[in-house]
Amino acid sequence: MDYDFNLFVIGGGSGGIAAGRRAASYGAKVGLAENDRLGGTCVNRGCIPKKFMVYSSRFPSTFLESEGYGWSKVSPTFDWSKMKTAIDNELNRLNGIYQGMLDKAGVELFRGTARLIDDHTIEIGDRKVTAEKILIAVGGYPVKPDIPGKEYLNISDAMFELSEAPKRMIIVGAGYIAVEFACIMNGLGVDVTLVLRRDKILRGFDEDIRTEIQEAIQKHGIKVMTNSQPIGVEKKGDCFYLKLKNTEDGSECTLETDAVNLSATGRVPNIDNLGLKNTGVKVDKGAIVVDEYSKTSVENIYAVGDCTNRINLTPVAIKEGRAFADTEFGGKSWKMSYENVPSAIFTTPEAATVGMTEEEARSKFGDAVRIHRAKFRPAYHTITGLDEKVFMKLVVDGNSDRVLGAHMVGEHAGEIIQGVAIAVKMGAKKSDFDATVAIHPSIAEEFVTMS
């Protein structure tokens, strides 16, 4: 049977674009549908604009720190609209770049919502096309807790649409998105309260990392309410009132905020309107089921990225997309490895991690696990006078001496762990770290000098 396309990609985010371009480079005729701006969540409502906001939020502390180095005291003012305009302009530029990349690769772009009619047919608006292979890369979307007044809760995407910063903000959630936004808004001068259902942030990360960040953000002025379950929201005048129930003793309280309740309680795969019921694609717990080569239960349909709910990180989706294209169109079969995937949390202080947590290592290797820790004030802050610390940790298998995990809280953690991740991925031993000459003076040297 002749098809309109060798490959049709549903979703113009990082994973879909990477797969489409790579497949086209091998001579495949590729179509791609996107109903929003190109680049997906990461470029438009996620990591890119959020990182710009992180940069902006850290200038107040930089002004203060400079005084210790002889700079005169300044009284800076912040213009939210100027920051927003600068970020929007950069996102528009990036969207143009993505469009240019698709055009150069020869990928035909369909603007609209794509829906599967059967295993080989896709409907976009009033047009239907056929494809030999179909790749689903529609990502995920944020969800709100199902409570009375939830219409007053803004999802995390709304952070990038605020016309001005509120004076007070309540953020509901303990994941990295919630904690990052709490730090951003706190740095920009907003009175922030972070509401957690349990007693600690960042479930799934190493316990020491969780503790270090939670203590640090509280020291920086963020109020953290633990064991608190949202049960309702009301609006009176210009204020919002979030009603909370204590998960331990059942007591209730109400918090007032000036303008925004930011709900950052998780994301789910964006597959509800895909027409999957018209195919044999299996779904489990709201996510598309795929094998190690990203193939679904239907022979010619594949899926990558957050809609599969494996590891929801942009670089992972990109690698999954490229692995799919190389395997199916390039004659270079390989599969994505989910072992030792590094990640960063752009809080203040920043954190980054790769490999096993201490808890994961002990569950697998038991008492053979050795832990190496270091906590210190970096040289930079010995002169600023601020009580800022760096925490670093190596998790080691005592039998093989292999470094199983590396974790850090402190300035430049993401940049530092990126390099350490190469060593961990290659199976480096603690003795290899010890044998490496330190770059002195630096924060990173502690990874090769800690005992």
SS3 category, 128: strand
Non-local CB neighbours of 328 within 8 Å, separated by 6+ positions: 7, 23, 133, 302
In this predicted structure, what is the pLDDT of residue 155?
A: 84
Which amino acid, residue 163? Answer: S
Cβ–Cβ < 8 Å for 142, 156: yes
Q: According to the model, what pLDDT value does residue 158 have?
A: 84
Q: Which helix (H) or strand (E) holds 365?
A: helix 358-365
Tell me which of 162 and 28 has the higher pLDDT.
28
pLDDT of residue 228: 97
- What is the rounded average pLDDT for all residues in the chain? 96
Domains of the chain plus CATH, in order, are 5-142+268-329 (3.50.50.60), 150-265 (3.50.50.60), 343-449 (3.30.390.30)
- Reported residue count of the chain is 451
pLDDT tens digits, one per residue of 46-75: 999 999 999 999 999 999 999 999 999 999
pLDDT score of 143: 85
pLDDT in tens, 105-154: 999 999 999 999 999 999 999 999 999 999 999 999 888 888 999 999 88
229-246: pLDDT as tens digits: 999 999 999 999 999 999
- Per-residue pLDDT of 68-92, as tens digits, reads 999 999 999 999 999 999 999 999 9
Instruction: Identify residue 93 by its one-letter amino acid code.
Output: R
pLDDT tens sequence across 382-437: 999 999 999 999 999 999 999 999 999 999 999 999 999 999 999 999 999 999 99
Q: Which two tokens stand for residue 293?
A: 């080569």
Q: Does the pLDDT at position 157 exceed 90? A: no
Give the residue-averaged pLDDT of 292-315.
97
CB 408 within 8 A of CB 439: no
Give the pLDDT band of residue 264 (cuts 50, 70, 90).
low
Tokens read off for 73:
């005291």
Q: What is the 3-state secondary structure (H, E, C) of 376-399?
A: ECCHHHHHHCCCCCEEEEEEEECC
Percent with pLDDT over 70 in the chain: 99
How far, in whole angstroms, is CA 407 from its chain's centroid?
17
pTM of the model: 0.95
Would the pLDDT of 330 be above 70? yes
Backbone angles phi, psi at 283, to 5 degrees: -125, 135
Rg of the chain (C-alpha set)? 24
Q: How confident is the model over 366-370, as a mean pLDDT?
A: 98
| Amino acid 147: pLDDT | 92
**What is the reported pLDDT for 244?**
96
Q: Is the pLDDT of residue 261 over 90?
A: no
Cα angle, residue 427 at apex, residues 425 and 428 outer, rounded to 5° = 110
Q: Report cis status (omega within 30 of 0) of the bond before 315.
A: no
Question: How is 336-350 classified by DSSP, letter by letter?
Answer: ---TT--EEE-SSS-
Which pLDDT value is given to residue 230? 94
First-to-last CA distance in the chain? Answer: 65
Catalytic residues: 440
Query: Residue 312 — pLDDT band, cuts 50, 70, 90?
Result: very high
Which has the minimum average pLDDT: 96-110, 249-263, 367-381, 418-432? 249-263
